[in-house]
Structures are given as structure tokens and as C-alpha cells.
Amino acid sequence: MLKSLKLAAAAALALTALLPSPSAYAEGLIRISQQFGTLYLPLHVIRDQNLFEEHAKALGLDDVKVEWAQLSGGDAINAALLSGSIDIAAAGIGPFLTLWGRTDGAVKIVAGLANQPNYLITSNPDIKSLKDFKATDKIALPAVGVSVQARILQIAAEKEFGAGNQGKLDNNAVTLAHPDATAALLSGSTEIAAHLSNTPFQEQALKDPKIHKILSSYDVLGGPVTPTYLYATTEWRKENPKTFQAFLGALKEATAWIEANKKGAAETYVRVEKSKLDPAFVQSLIESPESKFTIVPTRSYAFADFLYRTGAIKKKAESWKDYTFEELHNESGS
């Protein structure tokens, strides 16, 4: 299935005409994707507490249906969105901006999920900085070239090696979902020498004394970053205004609930994910000063500017508001 989705992505990104027609939409039906990690906790809360159904009913939508799809990697998620298989995509700012540029703005951000760092971690004691990577040292990330981790690595490489060298470590990158990458790094039995990870996988790996951190996305970008977003096609929003508002309302409620109930939020994560992690450990991650659940984009424009400046996308954004829906425009985003 993943291979077919990637093939669909290649075609879909080349032709914006492949965007689903309005007839593919149905008010009250919403299909949501998610990936792996605590970043997706607001979606777990929406699911666990039936928040979308509550908000939809308040808007007069009595017959509603929610479908959930767990996908990994921006290519697969973008393909699913453009094929009409999902309505709300959950992926990094990198995959989103790639799609936004190639569809001439036919997709926009609904909201951010959280501010959380991405760590580049390694099991190789000789690797202390990006300059220490050899050609054989492979770096695992969710999607080579387009994932937010791939873009963070490129921004870091440009800072380390100078202008024009953003792709210096691209050949080191390999695609691997976070759970699999964590297992590979900890086993030490594969070519994986490093992992550009996310929470809770990076903290879980760092419990092992042979793993150490090379850098954080917060260091690379100069402060807190919203790495992952929820986005949809402009056509879907137009054809499903009540469904859109119900989802956004549910997301706002879930985000506020997490910030006010971090112990309960950790328990929700473990329960919904069927995780073997200790809820107290997950709670400590949610309570970290580096973590904040908010729908407001933070430092998204740094990625948009980088991708345009380096030629990765051809569409220039003048502001973060250019690629977000208007419901966010009164917020202090960036």
C-alpha cells in the first residue's frame, strides 16, 4: 500500500488537477491521518473524547462519521490527501510546503499541533557534530527529502558547511518510521548510525548510555518550533464549512485540555497508542519546558523562506498567513 501511495504522490504532485472534485466530499464525514509520537496527542484526545462528534452536533451535523488512518512519511500522506483518501493531513512543515508550492496554494494549514523539538541522536561515539559523519553513516528520518526532519538536517547542514551546502548530508539520509528507526539505532545491528527523531522516541533512545544527542531543531532554528501541522485542501474546506469548523473547534478544545490536564493527557496517549511506555515518563515529556501544545504556527516561515531560497519550492510566501487558513490569522504566528 505504501508503495502505491508513493507512486500516486509522484503523479499527484505533478498535476494539481488531481485534487479531489467537490463531489468526493460529504459534509459530516471526516477522514484524518496521523503519524507516530506525542505531537499527535491532540488527535488522540479528539478521538478518545469524541470531541469532533460533539462539536459537529452543536453545529447541526447529527449524522457524522470519523475515519482515522495512521500513515508514515509526507509522501504517503500528501498522496492520500490529493487522492481524496483523507481530508485532514498530519505531517511536517516540509511535506506541507512542498505540496503547497506544487499545487499553487490549493492546500493550506488548518492548525499546528505542538511546539516540540526534534533531536539528531547517534549511537556512534565518534560523531559529535555534522562534520563527523562519513558517507557510510546513515541518518534515519520519516521521509528522505521532504520530511520536516529532512529539512531541519538541510538547514543545519547549510549553517555548518556554508551557503549552497544544504544537501551535504542528503545521501546519508534513509527513510524509516520513528519506531523502526529507534529500534534500529538501539540494536546497533544495522547501517543506521543516527536518527533525526521526535518525542517520545528520542527521549526513550537517550535512556540508553550509548546514545547521545548531536543537535536540537530548537538550536538550528533559534528557538521553539512547530514541526508538524494539520492541513487540508481549500476545496474541501469550501465544500464542508461545518465539518471544518467542528474539527477546528474540537482541536482547540483538545489542545487546551492537554495543557490543563497533562497527567490525563499522558494516560490518553498510552491508552490510545497501546504504548508500553510508563505514563509517568510520557507525562514528564509533556511537562517539559520545551513542549507546548498550541495550534499557533511557530517559525514555520523560516522553513518557507529556506525552501524558496534554495529552490526546493517555486512559490514564494510573503508571510506565514499566505499558507494558512484565515481562522489562524488573528494569532501571533510566525
> What's the confidence (pLDDT) of residue 25?
52
Inter-residue contact 51 to 45 (CB < 8 Å): yes
Type of residue at 144:
V
Give the model's pLDDT for residue 20: 47
pLDDT at 301: 98
pLDDT at position 87:
97
Question: Taking the mean position of all CA atoms in its chain, how far away is CA 106?
Answer: 19
Predicted local confidence at residue 315, as pLDDT: 96
| Number of H-type helices and E-type strands within the chain | 14, 10
Q: The pTM is what?
A: 0.88
Tens-digit pLDDT profile for residues 14-56: 433 444 444 445 688 999 998 888 999 999 999 999 999 999 9
**pLDDT confidence of 253, banded at 50, 70, 90?**
very high
Question: Mind listing the pLDDT tens digit for each residue in 54-113?
Answer: 999 999 998 899 999 887 677 889 999 999 999 999 999 999 999 999 999 999 999 999
Query: Average model confidence (pLDDT) for the chain?
Result: 90
Among 102, 121, 263, residue whose Cα is nearest residue 193:
121
What per-residue confidence (pLDDT) applies to 196? 96
Q: Does residue 200 have a cis peptide bond before it, meaning omega lies within 30 degrees of 0?
A: yes
Rounded Cα distance between 164 and 220, Å, is: 17
What pLDDT is stored for residue 325 in this prediction?
98
Structure-model confidence comparison of residues 103 and 10, the more confident one = 103
Contact assessment for residue 221 and residue 94, using Cβ atoms and an 8 Å cutoff: no
Q: What is the tens place of the pLDDT at every residue in 180-224?
A: 999 999 998 888 999 999 999 999 999 999 999 999 999 999 999
What per-residue confidence (pLDDT) applies to 99?
96
Average pLDDT over every residue of 6-14: 39
Q: Report how far apart, in Å, the C-alpha atoms of 169 and of each of 102, 106, 145, 160, 311 are.
A: 24, 31, 11, 11, 17
pLDDT tens by residue, 227-240: 999 999 999 999 99
Percent of the chain with pLDDT over 70: 92
3-state helix, strand, coil in the chain (%, to 5): 50, 15, 35
How far apart CA 334 and CA 331 sit, in angstroms, is 9
